[in-house]
């Protein structure tokens, strides 16, 4: 394995804005290299490769402390209202993120909103309650959103198409645990995992959003992107997978009964959600604006746009057949 360049630096760190609970808040996001995802099996995920391997726990702790300290510098410089920390696995998995690192981060962001991600397996009432109490010592605005990669409310799709190792019932139980402990829930949904037609993926996303609205505090729809060194990339190279059309993404956002944020990573590129190339940038700009202003009329106006590829999308939605190769690239 190649040595990691700059192991004391976060994989990425940036500032921005987020729409949370009806407000536009300043934010800092950091991707921290950790001990790695313990599940390590999802068909669509490259992030599981971004880990420290073959090092002792004291060294893991030291390197994670160093990365958090880089985050501290950004927080002191920007003074954000929201801090988002992702480890490409589960923040509450003690094998991935040692407890002292968890406590160090909570101390750093007291009085702010913290968003972290975890599998349901590692979440319990006592743990969330302790962290919520600690973070609120810095002020009433302090809170924790625990992000869960549910991906879909369909157990069949989640297992056969993604290999997530999670049941919908587990998600519902964990969301209840988080709320009882005083925390908040953010839910990630995956738009168009492998083996689904454009229409099947579209219908599944609509259904999933509707079903989790009463359960979650934030919803984020992630249009699937073909990441390197994944099972999905193998299918894509064999022309057995096409990422979702941006028309599908925009239509779902236009019709949703809740504000669903969306970050189309790789949007407009062949590996990411895309249309024909002519209308992509306009739709992507509208989605980014919608993320902050929650103006659903904006997304409805997008669906009134005309482009030659819109007819292609409509044809694919009507004619693409299950268990067949995609009709387009």
> How confident is the model over 175-195, as pLDDT tens digits?
999 999 999 999 999 999 999
Q: How many CB atoms lie within 10 A of CB 240?
A: 14
The per-residue pLDDT for 1 is 53
- Cα gap 190→196, rounded to integer Å: 12
- The DSSP call for residue 6 is S
DSSP letter string over 105-135? HHHHTTTSEEEEE--GGG--HHHHHHHHHHH
- Residue 164, classified by CB atoms within 10 Å of its CB into exposed (0-12), middle (13-18) or buried (19+), is buried
Residue 153 has pLDDT above 90, yes or no: yes
pTM comes to 0.96
Q: Please give the Cα distance from 148 to 118 (Å, whole number).
A: 6
Per-residue pLDDT, 293: 97
Average pLDDT over residues 53-76: 94
Q: What is the DSSP string of 236-295?
A: HHTT---PPPHHHHHHHHHH-SS-EEE--TTTTSTTSS--SSSSHHHHHHHHHHHHHH--
Three-state DSSP at 13 gives strand
Percent of the chain with pLDDT over 70: 99
Helix then strand count (H, E) for the chain reads 11, 8
Q: What is the mean pLDDT of residues 138-163?
A: 97
Give CA 48 to chain center in angstroms. Answer: 14
What pLDDT band is residue 2 in, cutting at 50, 70 and 90? Answer: low
* Amino acid 116: pLDDT: 98
| Cα separation, 29 vs 14, whole angstroms | 5
Q: Are the beta carbons of 98 and 57 closer than 8 angstroms? A: yes
Q: What is the pLDDT of residue 99?
A: 95
What is the pLDDT at residue 54?
82
C-alpha span between 52 and 96 (Å, rounded): 9
Strand partners, 19: 24
**Once rounded to an integer, what is the mean pLDDT over residues 27-34?**
97
> Where are the chain's structural domains?
12-244, 245-315
Q: What are phi and psi of 214, to 5 degrees?
A: -75, -10
The pLDDT score that the predictor gives to residue 51 is 85
Check pLDDT > 80 for residue 120: yes
Pick the CATH number of 12-244 from 3.30.70.260, 2.40.50.140, 3.20.20.70, 1.10.10.60: 3.20.20.70
């Amino acid at each position: 394995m190649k040595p990691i360049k700059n192991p004391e630096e976060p994989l990425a760190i940036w500032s921005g804005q987020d729409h949370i609970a009806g407000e536009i808040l300043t934010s800092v996001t950091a991707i921290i290299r950790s001990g790695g995802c313990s599940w390590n099996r999802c068909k669509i995920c490259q992030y599981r490769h971004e880990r420290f391997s073959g090092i002792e726990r004291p060294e893991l702790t030291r390197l994670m402390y160093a990365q958090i300290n880089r985050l501290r510098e950004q927080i002191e410089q920007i003074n954000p209202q929201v801090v988002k920390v992702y480890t490409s696995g589960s923040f509450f998995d003690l094998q991935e993120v040692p407890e002292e690192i968890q406590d160090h981060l909570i101390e750093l962001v007291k009085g702010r909103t913290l968003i972290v991600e975890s599998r349901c397996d590692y979440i319990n009432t006592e743990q969330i309650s302790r962290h919520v109490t600690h973070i609120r010592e810095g002020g009433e605005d302090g809170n924790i959103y625990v992000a869960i990669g549910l991906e879909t409310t369909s157990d069949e799709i989640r297992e056969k198409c993604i290999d997530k190792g999670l049941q919908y019932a587990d998600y519902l139980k964990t969301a209840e645990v988080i709320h009882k402990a005083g925390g908040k829930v953010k839910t990630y949904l995956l738009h168009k995992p492998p083996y689904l037609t454009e229409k099947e993926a579209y219908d599944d996303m609509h259904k999933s959003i509707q079903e989790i609205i009463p359960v979650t505090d934030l919803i984020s729809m992630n249009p699937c992107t073909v990441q390197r060194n994944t099972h999905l990339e193998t299918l894509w190279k064999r022309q057995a997978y096409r990422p979702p059309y941006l028309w599908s993404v925009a239509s779902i956002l236009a019709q949703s009964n809740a504000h669903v944020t969306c970050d189309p990573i790789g949007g407009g590129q062949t590996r990411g959600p895309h249309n024909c190339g002519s209308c992509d940038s306009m739709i992507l700009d509208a989605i980014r604006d919608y993320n902050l202003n929650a103006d659903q009329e904006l997304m409805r106006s997008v669906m009134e746009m005309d482009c030659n590829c819109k007819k292609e999308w409509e044809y694919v939605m009507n004619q693409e057949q299950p268990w067949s190769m995609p009709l387009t690239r």
